[in-house]
Structure 1
Amino acid sequence: MKAVKSTATFLRTYSSASKYTYETLAVSVPKKNVYHVELNRPAKLNTFNLPLWSELKQCFNALHKEPECRVVVLSGQGKLFTAGIDLNSLIEYFSKANDIDDPARRARFLYDWMKECQASVTSLEDCTKPVLSVVHGACIGAGINLVTAADVRYCTEDAWFQVKEVEVGLAADVGVLQRLPKVVGNTSIARELCFTARKFDAKEALQIGLVSKVLPDKESALNHALDVAADIASKSPVAVQATKQNLIYSQDKSPKEGLEHIALINMVNHMGEDLTKSAIALATKGEKPEFEDY
């Protein structure tokens, strides 16, 4: 039997989630300080149309600033995570570009759109709250660009992935070429996947390090992600967010630069109360401390 939420908990959860209403996303708060963002175009296989690109950025920028949000779980509604870009939307967009006669102005129009899409995906990294993604079914094209910007990736046994862009005559331009080699730590396999656009399954995704765990089905994968998210959310948000900031910063920096970055962050954070609370609890083996929203 499922536990029934108290009225106070339900009202808090409802009011927190109701602030975030989108056409292409569904936002809920299934656990304390854990926000669940779902791609919500199941009838269109969660394909990326223009509103979805825009709303992803809006949503993650908002959650970055939301004090009650400490962790985000990202998944997709319906039978799969995402089938990638909405081709009808893409054709419509290029038709608009082709209506611009001057090559310089047409190029600027295309450049500005690409930068907006890049910013949409990068908003997962810019959000200081850890983002845990859950893939079920297919994760194609724009989807794999998206999950490589997440902090942690889980998938189901039936999941499969595809860096599809070369099959539709494009070089991927919203993040997978930059992030996938770093995520898997193997430029050879990353380049093969990007050059060939071949499909690969959950077993291979785990083997190459794209995902950290494979779960039997969507329900178990979401439950696992939410449990991990709740564990992270119980820790100092000051410490967790500083950790993410430094991990992202240090990806393409020298160890010396990364060390200087965390020293500058922690010379402030060490004066905060979270460190004292945690240290006392560990030293006295007392109850786990409660931390203020941040």
Structure 2
Amino acid sequence: MEKYKTLEIIQNSPNSSVFHLYLNNPNLRNALSQEFFIEFPKALSSLDQNPHVKVIILSGHGDHFCSGIEIKALNSLTNSEIKDHGRLRERIRRDIKGLQDAITAIEKCRKPVIAAIHGGCIGGGIDMVTACDIRYCTEDSFFCVKEVDLAITADLGTLQRLPRIVGYGNAAELALTARRFSGLEAKSMGLVSKVFGTKKDMEMEVKTIAEGIASKSPLAIIGTKEVLLRGREMTTEQGLDYVATWNSSMLLSDDLMEAVSAQLQKRKPVFAKL
């Protein structure tokens, strides 16, 4: 398995199809460096293409999930020897699009990505977790849409994804005030599905949840993620048409027969890898 400087991939047991993707810059509270934005989409792509991987748990080493984008990475966007204003701004736009693509890689990954959040989840950390499929956190975790305090309009996905999760009013209040809010408040708004007393409790239960998802038909799981994501941009009628087309392609699989047989025989189904 490929090694990364800003990330670590761990498979806790050889028979598990749940893989852990850790942010691995604990000395800087997992701040997102320029190198992270290169490595992160590569790591997700490798996990996506690995037939042994069915579910990915995204979490952070150290005391915090993520403290946001590293100041060096922000400075690199505006420090340039390009004198022509038009060319400089075109390059900045291209660089921002590249950073956006690194976060959107979570959604492009076919496998479900579960965020397990502890400690601080600030700025770019919110960008990441809002792109994940499911989110959990600990009681001592805290969140902040920090960008306006740095004189920046958040540009890596929070302003697009957060309103769909917590509602426009909540998202606007959090983004405009840049106030810190707790894991329990995140749960009350729907940003996370459950809050755990300790990091250890969260890790144990999230692993159980992930293993449960991994035991299901991989075709059904990737189809559910795809249809949910596509459905955000569609009317109900368009979404129904899309899922009808999807299932007309995927429904007649060995997975369906195996799921039915397993229920009739009162046993656990066994599905082929993707």
TM-score (ref. length: structure 2): 0.97
Q: 1:213 aligns with which of 188, 194, 199?
A: 194
Q: 1:204 aligns with which of 174, 185, 188?
A: 185
Q: How many pairs are equivalent? A: 272
Deviation per CA, 1:183-242: give whole Å up to 9, x if none: 11x211110000110000011000000000000121111111111110000111011110
SS at structure 1 position matched to 2:11: strand
Q: 1:151 aligns with which of 130, 133, 136?
A: 133
Matched residue, 1:131? 113
TM-score (ref. length: structure 1): 0.90
Q: Residue 89 of structure 1: CA displacement?
A: 2.7
Matched residue, 1:63? 47
SS at structure 2 position matched to 1:55: helix
**Residue 64 of structure 2 corresponds to residue 107 of structure 1:** no
Paired residues for 1:14-33 under 5 Å: 19-31=1-13, 32-33=16-17
In structure 2, stretches of 5+ residues that fail to align are none
**Residue 60 of structure 2 corresponds to residue 76 of structure 1:** yes
Deviation per CA, 1:31-75: give whole Å up to 9, x if none: 511110000000111001101111111111222221111100000
Q: 2:247 aligns with which of 260, 266, 281?
A: 266
**Residue 102 of structure 2 corresponds to residue 120 of structure 1:** yes
**Worse-matched range after superposition: 29-38 or 42-51:** 29-38
**Fraction of identical pairs, as percent:** 37
Structure 1 residue runs of 4 or more that deviate by more than 2 Å after TM superposition: none
Matched residue, 2:225? 244
In structure 1, stretches of 5+ residues that fail to align are 1-18
**Residue 21 of structure 2 corresponds to residue 41 of structure 1:** no
Paired residues for 1:184-195 under 5 Å: 184=166, 186-195=167-176
**Worse-matched range after superposition: 213-222 or 129-138:** 213-222
Matched residue, 1:5? none
**Distance in structure 1 (CA, Å) of the matches to 2:215 and 2:224:** 15
**Distance in structure 2 (CA, Å) of the matches to 1:281 and 1:68:** 22
**Distance in structure 2 (CA, Å) of the matches to 1:136 and 1:207:** 17
